Structure 1
Amino acid sequence: MAAGFNAYLIAPASIIPLLVDSFGIDKASAGLSISVFFLAWGMAGLPGGLLMDRYDNRRLAFVGVVALVLASLAGAATSTYLPFLLTRFVGGATGAFLWTANANVVSRVFPESKLAVATGLFVAAGPAGQAIAQFGGPLLADVAGWRAVFVVYPLIVVAGLPVLYLAAREPVRSEEAISLGQFVRVLRNPTILAVSFASACSFALFVFFSSWMPTYATEELSIDLAAAGAATALVPFAGIVARPGGGWLSDRIGERRRPVIVVSFLLALPVIFGVTTIRSAGGFAMLMLAAGATVQLAIGVYYVYVAELAEPGTTGTCLAMVTSVST
């Protein structure tokens, strides 16, 4: 489910020229189709977290699936760009239920001894979905047209819904509805805010390396675009291993979360410095692999850490805080 959601999120990136031609817009305007998605996801995060602590998360996920499918169908059918952007905004808002609520389900279903690894595997669906979109989008568009891209990925989300119900056979919600006072305390909790800020920094580094490096490689290193794109694809691919790997490491050192977060940033520092010194295509590829591994090492750990810090009945809101700040 999460992989399909992330594939739909990043879907426009690999077919930007087709959107430009179809809607008669420029590339900057086409890029808004991704920006509004993140905007809606961030805006819906905290209200969604409040709902997650009050209602069965499985039902909220079902609502999210229905909304995403309807938005994707409407987006594929529209002939003008503004309505298309609106459908992307609606799709982004479903992230509160299709990503964060699923993270909450994982935190409730798995035992504490396996929680970090399980959460790491869950968040690895993010780069996996992005990889599906980056490689599959152009191929699908060639076969069935660009509109099919925005219809197919939500089908992956639909396929994940039965799996969710099989994994969580009982309702997933807080025993008691979160109070307004508890909600305010979450927003003011300095530790949760610090973890959310650290998560935002990690995610910003991930976006920086996965989005801007192809342009940097072509303009500054004189690497051709195809090679630069292939090398940069190593960033999300590394996350498929690094995200659950960080959770595994955290469990191996006595379920301690902070050391993994600190190590992630410390290892990322020489990689960031390396961007200014690498001059070869091979070195650039190795740098992208290292970047993907280091900056994503703690991404799954943030979710586990916040869930452990949460007051009883506020886990969904705390997870939503991390997601909202990060996006």
Structure 2
Amino acid sequence: MSRDRSDKDNASPRTRRMRTTAVALLVLAGCVNYFDRAAVAVGNPEIRAELGLSFSEMGLLLSAFAWSYGLAQIPAGVLVDRYGARRTLGVGMVLWSFAQLAGGAVHSLHQFLGARIALGLGESPMYIGGTRVCADWFPLKKRALPIAIFNSSSALAPALAPPILTMLMLAHGWRVMFIIAGLAGFVVAALWAIYYRAPRDADIPAADIEEIHRDDGAAIEHVGWSQVLWLLRFPTTWGMFLGFFGVVYVSWLYATWLPGYLEIARHQSIANAGIWSAVPLAAGFFGAVAGGVISDRLGRAGGMDAAATCRLPVIAGLVVAGISTIAAVYVADLSAALALMSLGLFAANVSSSCGWALAAVIAPVNTVATLEAIQNVGGSIGGSLAPLVSGILLDRSGSFVPAFVLAGGISIACAAIYGTMTLRKISVPIGADIAATTATPA
């Protein structure tokens, strides 16, 4: 059977090179981004001991980043859609690098909270801006895979971070670990400023730009805060907001408490906890990549539209992640627990990749970053509550079981939300005013 012409890449060599460069820079930036986030989780026992923090206070510190990150999402999305990804991400990279350096110099909980809040503000444009980059450079039906590759950095870095950061911490202390991660951010910011350009500034053929946006729906006229209110009129927007809460909640339970869980509940040394933590987190990386591959294959073999090929893996991934997370804390064998956690994070990251891709195919292209931002506010609420609530439950029960069971239940509930609330596209009927727009079937 012959392939549809939309499956062929007829872009010029320069366009293909620029696409590859853009995705490579996004992956690199995403890895450094997550190294910065993971530093507190890896340094958890040492930081807690040096600053004299309780489990609840440590949970607050682990969640501080997510609160500021979440609150900044919608402003960051508006800035990306208005000023472009190059400028917005570049400024964010510089800010988050300064914040990470500050984290290595703190001497109290309040100072540390300030540094983590600044880190959240700086990193807030990263993933919404990266998704907009993919929407700017790739045609509608080809966006899921590059978005998944880029999004895989959110799983690759947490997989690499525990062993690498643990070695740095054991050799030089947790403060040096923070400083090295901060300096890496400045290097990425310089590379981004030198090598990334939006298609309109990259000297690529006009035919390539036309092909990229051939299947996009009509763009909305007003880019700014008005588009936030417009997007909030659609049930699909709220379904993505609520559903992504579960995607990030279950992921951040692992990202923030996995090393501590292995030390406290499974009685592993700091070094072993750092090594074993990498196993489920590595599975998460493969899940992030697999999400894009699954979506791409569903589109080619199943004849589904782009929205359905993203939505179905999100739902299935959340169900598997929830069941695996609950089962993991009830098995006595460490190997079995790690296998179940690996399956859970693999599935959660399938959902994450396809959740990010969904926004890039279900709404007008010049609202992608803002829709991603609204969705990620829900995710950030989940990310901020997961470490905090888990710490409180651990303090009160002396066990990780309630925290993992709660995360699994939330994951399954959010699968149902995606399955019932994201069935309609967000679109502007030709000739219609935004104020009169209603959702149309996907």
**TM class by smaller structure:** 0.7 to 0.9
Cα deviation, 1:190-227, whole Å, max 9, x if unaligned, reads 1122123222212222233455566767777xx43246
Matches for 1:123-202 after TM superposition, within 5 Å: 123-161=151-189, 162-163=191-192, 166-170=195-199, 177-202=222-247
Shift of 1:142: 3.1
Partner residue of 1:301 out of 323, 339, 354: 354
Cα deviation, 1:237-260, whole Å, max 9, x if unaligned, reads 112111121111111111422221
- 1:53 paired to 2:84: no
Structure 1 range deviating more: 75-84 or 160-169: 160-169
Structure 1 range deviating more: 73-82 or 246-255: 73-82
CA distance in 2 between partners of 1:33 and 1:212 (Å): 12
Partner residue of 2:69 out of 17, 41, 56: 41
Q: Which residue of 2 aligns with 1:234?
A: 279
| One-letter code aligned to 1:241 | F
Note if contact 2:359-2:372 (Cα within 8 Å) is conserved in structure 1: yes
| One-letter code aligned to 2:284 | G
Aligned length: 324
Partner residue of 1:225 out of 260, 268, 274: 268
Q: Which residue of 2 aligns with 1:80?
A: 108
Give the secondary-structure state (helix, strand or coil) at the position aligned to 2:171: helix
| One-letter code aligned to 1:153 | A
Give the secondary-structure state (helix, strand or coil) at the position aligned to 2:158: helix
Q: Which residue of 2 aligns with 1:251?
A: 296
Give the secondary-structure state (helix, strand or coil) at the position aligned to 1:279: coil
Gaps of 5+ in 2: 1-28, 202-218, 300-305, 381-442
Structure 2 CA distance for partners of 1:88 and 1:97, relative to 1, 3 Å: same
Note if contact 1:116-1:244 (Cα within 8 Å) is conserved in structure 2: no
Note if contact 2:136-2:198 (Cα within 8 Å) is conserved in structure 1: no
Query: What root-mean-square deviation, in Å, do the aligned CA atoms of Structure 1 and Structure 2 show?
Result: 2.8
Give the secondary-structure state (helix, strand or coil) at the position aligned to 2:155: helix
Structure 1 range deviating more: 182-191 or 274-283: 274-283
Gaps of 5+ in 1: none
Structure 2 CA distance for partners of 1:153 and 1:286, relative to 1, 3 Å: same
CA distance in 1 between partners of 2:137 and 2:273 (Å): 41
Structure 2 CA distance for partners of 1:231 and 1:156, relative to 1, 3 Å: same
Give the secondary-structure state (helix, strand or coil) at the position aligned to 1:298: helix
Cα deviation, 1:46-84, whole Å, max 9, x if unaligned, reads 111111111122111111122122223333334333223
| One-letter code aligned to 2:67 | L
Larger Cα-atom Rg: 2
Structure 2 CA distance for partners of 1:28 and 1:59, relative to 1, 3 Å: same
Matches for 1:264-283 after TM superposition, within 5 Å: 264-268=317-321, 270-272=323-325, 274-275=327-328, 278-283=331-336
Shift of 1:232: 4.5
Partner residue of 2:372 out of 294, 319, 326: 319
Shift of 1:277: 5.1
Structure 2 CA distance for partners of 1:282 and 1:188, relative to 1, 3 Å: same
CA distance in 2 between partners of 1:145 and 1:228 (Å): 17
Shift of 1:276: 6.1
Structure 2 CA distance for partners of 1:133 and 1:282, relative to 1, 3 Å: closer
Shift of 1:268: 3.3
Identity %: 23
Q: TM-score, normalised by structure 1?
A: 0.87
